[in-house]
A = this chain, B = another copy of it.
Amino acid sequence: MLDVRLLAQPFNPGAFVGPFTNAHPGLGGVCTFVGEVRGGGGVEALELSHYEPLTLPGMQALAETASSRFGLMGMLMLHRVGKMYPGEPIVCVSAAAEHRRAAIDAVDFAMDHLKSDSWFWKRELRGGVWSWIEPRDQDHADLRRWG
């Protein structure tokens, strides 16, 4: 089962991961990554914008790629958009598989692609001033790991 969503409001990852896990009887393992907004360096808020016609279809395609590449039973992929605050979950990716290596690798793969190859633009509020976050070289290095 692929469950891919953009969420405009704060969410509780456990409320999605529990039902996702239960939807796959016979699984061997579930790996989940939850990213939160970091508050370090004086960040007061983060705003994510997306482009409706590309962002969700792109995530759906990524979930399908990860699912077939790693032979998953299912993948859950949730991403916040809009304005959010330190400590709030921003992304949650879960992979259900028969074997743990597939589940862990699929989450690693999906996170690398979500972070650097998905249609999201982020800006941060520091000291009352919004500024856009530019791409990082590390992201391209992360992607190259997957050939």
A residues sitting closer than 8 Å to B (CB atoms) are: 12, 14, 17-18, 21, 25-36, 38-40, 86-87, 98, 100-101, 103-104, 107-108, 111, 115, 142
A129–B84 CA distance with the chains assembled, in angstroms: 55
Instruction: Verify A26–B38 contact, CB threshold 8 A.
Output: yes
**Consensus secondary structure, chain A interface:** mixed
Instruction: Verify B104–A33 contact, CB threshold 8 A.
Output: yes
A27–B47 CA distance with the chains assembled, in angstroms: 18
Instruction: Verify A35–B108 contact, CB threshold 8 A.
Output: no
- With both beta carbons as reference points, the residue of chain B lying nearest to A28 in the complex is identified as B38
A115–B29 CA distance with the chains assembled, in angstroms: 13
Name the B residues within 8 Å of A28 (CB-CB): 35-36, 38
A32–B86 CA distance with the chains assembled, in angstroms: 21
- With both beta carbons as reference points, the residue of chain B lying nearest to A40 in the complex is identified as B26
Name the B residues within 8 Å of A25 (CB-CB): 39, 87
Name the B residues within 8 Å of A27 (CB-CB): 36, 38
